Chains A and B, each alone.
Chain A
Amino acid sequence: MEDITTLDNRLSIEKSSPGRRALKFKGRLKHSAPPIPENLRRKTAPRLAELSEFDVVRHFTRLSKINFSLDSHFYPLGSCTMKYNPRVNEDIAALDGFTGLHPMAPDEAAQGTLECLYNLQTLLCELCGMEAITLQPAAGAHGEFAGLMAAKAYFAHKNQKDRVEVIVPDSAHGTNPASAAMLGFSSINIDSGPDGRVDLEVLKRHLGPKTAVVMLTIPNTLGIFESGIETISKMVHEAGALVYMDGANFNAMIGMIKPGELGVDIMHLNMHKTFSTPHGGGGPGAGAIAVKKYLDAYLPVPVIKKEGNRYCADFNRPLSIGKVKAFFGNTGVLLKAYAYLLMHSPRELGEISENAIINANYAKALLKDYYPSHSKDHCMHECVLAPSPEMMAKEITTLDVAKRLLDYGFHAPTIYFPHIAHEAIMIEPTETETRETVEEFASAMKKISAEALNNPQKLKDAPQTMPVKRLDEVQAARQPNLRW
């Protein structure tokens, strides 16, 4: 990374000068309407920066440079699937024919976009081994919410309103219990077995007439496949409940395993993970919920249908849970996912999973003498490690390792998650990284391990090469400064 410590860190408002302007609108259409009445008129102008266009371009270009990104850095963030974002997707989604389409345009005017969305629905259903799908949710958590809501509607329709519990393993993403709670379910947290998998005995104890849904992440957040999934699904179904799969880790299964065949009833997909759309600094993503046919009727509207040669957005679904956002889903993101799928045969999709799994196991193997793994098994697309006991004896924490990695030019892995793994370092290289990158990363991790033993202060003082040193998060929370 270039030396950016000398760049100024003023806010745009601090660069503002009264009267300075970038964009102008000179067109004036004539009319004879009276001015806005006094009681409705804004009295004081909003406090926004006044800048020239050049100021704006330079301000934001500078900000872009004091930031890690996938294009510039390796991001082995477990559970986040930071894989390469193909540029052709960006070109395609930016085509005027797509971007200019109004969400209330009638179907006749939207045939191109509707065809893409319909085809994407079909492809995703087949990849998941599911029978119906909606592309409405704007993100994964939004999908969880809509999927659980569909389950709730399903049980209400079957007159089983007393199914009020959602069972979630302790290794689950935080969004799982949060989504369940938003829908008024009580979320039952169950302890994982010693190997990180669902403990069948524990699950059995909690399953019953009150269970609505069991939410599983497959592979789970320890990067382990739920080997007993067939038995689990059978148990859940026998209890009259449904199996929900958090599809955040579908990057380890695509083209290789169909969740529908595992007994999954509902699952969500994240376009911004497995399907290569960029994360944009935190969003936008796009979700999808795929279900078995008995849940189809409850999916949010609209669903894209094909009637003869015509595509249409179907709002006429009386049992639907309704809308989860205005208009259609995050179409611009979905188009990128569709383009990505067009470029892959089933075999090539399988190679995604295979390479993701090989890269993760390779990282784990290279680091095995320095950072012990939480699990003895081979991992799927990600592995969970921890600093060695020798490092911890020097009072080195995972946070120290993470901060020191930044100095070596690597984004830190996901840390302290899953909560069940002590001092977790969760590494997901993804399939788009080469072995050389994984080796360079491992070599930096090894150097850090040596530093921890010989000069632990170096880790405590890290990062040294970033635009700022470690930041005072306590003050940020105690005296929130959230705006200019």
Chain B
Amino acid sequence: MSKLSFAYYPGCSLESSAKEYDVSTRKVADILKVELIEIPDWSCCGASPAHTVDHLFASAVAARNLAIVEEMGRDTLVTPCPECLSAFKKAIYNMSKDDGFKKKVNSLLDKPFNLNVEAKSFLQILYEDVGKENISKKVIKPLIGVNIVPYYGCLLTRPPDVAQFDDPENPISMDTILETIGANVPYFSYKLECCGAAYGVTKRRIVTKLSGDILKTAIESGADAVAVACPLCQQNLDLRQDQINRDQGFDFHIPILYITQLMGLSFGLSASELMIDKHNVKSDHFLEKIEKGLKEKEKSEKESISSKN
């Protein structure tokens, strides 16, 4: 595999409330020999608020970053955050199909964006560019004995014309990666159901209902943990888990981990290196279960060797 190298856009959450997603992404990328070069002086993508004001404005806020990537001489922007990804993909999509729109967007910018850059999620890079064979080569502590359900959220694969990745109704990229790192992946019907997105602050009851349904279904599927790829989904399912329990009458304590943290564990990194202790819901029981699974595997391997002898 030739060395992969991309312009990297962490996004605002990843340098604050979702720092562990940035740290685990960089560590996993390093192990997989994927070079991530942070975009100099990147700015906010605009997220949801910008497109409720105007689509031209929203595209311009996002495209400032795409123009910087062009200046870097790179052709792909990679971001772990699906909300940022969606802002970039929509800007590129809308500017590509309408030249008048593109000109108007560029009239709002200091430096124009000339559509020479595409945007991809880090998950897409892992799944398509690195691939499961290369991932499996780095696995030294497979996550044996734990059930993990993948929760994709809304925007990684939708809408399909814009996202151009995986299946919009039944994505399998995270399922495949979880299986590759040794986890058992039960059937999970709530892979794509919205967690309530950015309404946590303004309409908490909406978020605790929708996120509560996701956690309930995950637990009914037998999950020991939920794998996520979005900082906002992580926040709703983890940081707000006590609010969910209070509002919905549940008593859940299920760890919500980034796919990159789970990969890191299987690559032999420690929980503290991956900042797993920075989540609200403790992962101790989940981590013990992995250790137990590994020990049992070693024991049964030794037994089978000695029985052969």
The answer on A and B forming one complex is: no
